[in-house]
Structure 1
Amino acid sequence: MTPSRAPMAPTRPQNLLAVGLLAVVVGNLLTRLFYADIPSLPIAAAVVLGVLGLAELAGGFVLRNRIERRNDAPPVDPLLAARALLVARASAYAGSAVAGLWVGLLVHTLPDAGTVTAASADSVTGGIGLACALVLVGAALWLERCCRAPDDPESERRPE
């Protein structure tokens, strides 16, 4: 008896949303408890996920071109595609969690941003971090989509 090989289901947006909402609660709680004790947040901490997202976006285009064999591209090793899929899935969940943490920070800092200098600077960093985390989530979902095998025209034919 051979095990059935069901295709891996794509990442469900509601799962990403659930992770993000949980991270909002945790991020807001941690910010309320420890905000006075932490130093100012560097913008570099916010930009890292955006850079990773851009790399995954570029990787998705390259992988898609190779899977579809455009421009005489070499074929894709199935293990490479599987690894790219795992990276995409992990990045989507990590980006969702970090986006939630940034939202938790923003919920705490934005109300004071007009009067407190540190809250203003951290709100800018939090906004950049949120945008970069969302770039990572979007790029990860794109990379995951690019890992799909093209439809086999032979499998669509019906026997006559």
Structure 2
Amino acid sequence: MAGNTEPGKTPRDKQEPPRPGSVRPTSRRLLVAIAVLGVAVGVTLVQAIESGGGVAPTVSWLTLVAWMFLAALLFAAARNTHQRIQVRRERVEPSRAVFLLMIGKASAFVGALCTGVYAGFALSFLQAMGSSGPRNRVIMAGAAVVISVLVVTAGLLLERACRIPEDPDETA
């Protein structure tokens, strides 16, 4: 028999099904798949716009500031929620906990998609880095990729902070 398990415990490599009313943690593989899909969307979008005679959009400073603000809010919410639920073990109203959990999950998904789209934008202009226009586009899109990854991270931290800690009395 592989692995030492106590009676009533499952080995770590086997996931037990979620309890009724519980939500599984966001899959990292799914986030990577969403980001890869975003890269394809970003590259295709730039090619479609330019083949139609248009000019591909650029990432503005305002976009970067807005994404940074969102990331900061999510990190603050994750820290506050972690302190309340995990550290101080305060009871949180269920509707608020569900709201925070869904905000965390949605932020991780949207952040992953935008990470991919911005990476697709950067890849589209990478071959023309010699001139200043494409170089600025690559730099701004690259900064947006980094900030989008921060949004994903903050969303995952918020989701994790919403976990109900195990009761030490029940595990005895």
TM range (shorter): 0.7 to 0.9
User: What TM-score does the superposition give when structure 2 sets the normalisation length?
Assistant: 0.81
Percent identical: 26
Contact 2:59 2:144 in 1 (8 A): no
Give the CA deviation at 1:39. 5.2
- Residue type matched to 2:99 in 1? R
Aligned-residue CA RMSD (Å) = 1.8
Structure 1 gaps of 5+ residues are none
Cα distance, 1:142–1:119 mapped onto 2, change above 3 Å:
same
Aligned to 1:23: 38
Cα distance, 1:9–1:25 mapped onto 2, change above 3 Å:
same
Structure 2 gaps of 5+ residues are 1-18
- Cα separation, 2, equivalents of 1:56 and 1:112: 35
1:41 to 49, 59, 67: 59
User: What TM-score does the superposition give when structure 1 sets the normalisation length?
Assistant: 0.86
2:138 to 103, 123, 127: 123
- The answer on 1:61 being equivalent to 2:79 is yes
1:76 to 92, 108, 112: 92
- The answer on 1:102 being equivalent to 2:118 is yes
- Cα separation, 1, equivalents of 2:76 and 2:20: 30
Q: Alignment length, in residue pairs?
A: 151
1:7 to 13, 22, 26: 22
Indicate the structure whose relative CO is greater, using CA pairs within 8 Å and at least 6 residues apart: 1
Give the CA deviation at 1:121. 1.1
Aligned to 2:69: 51
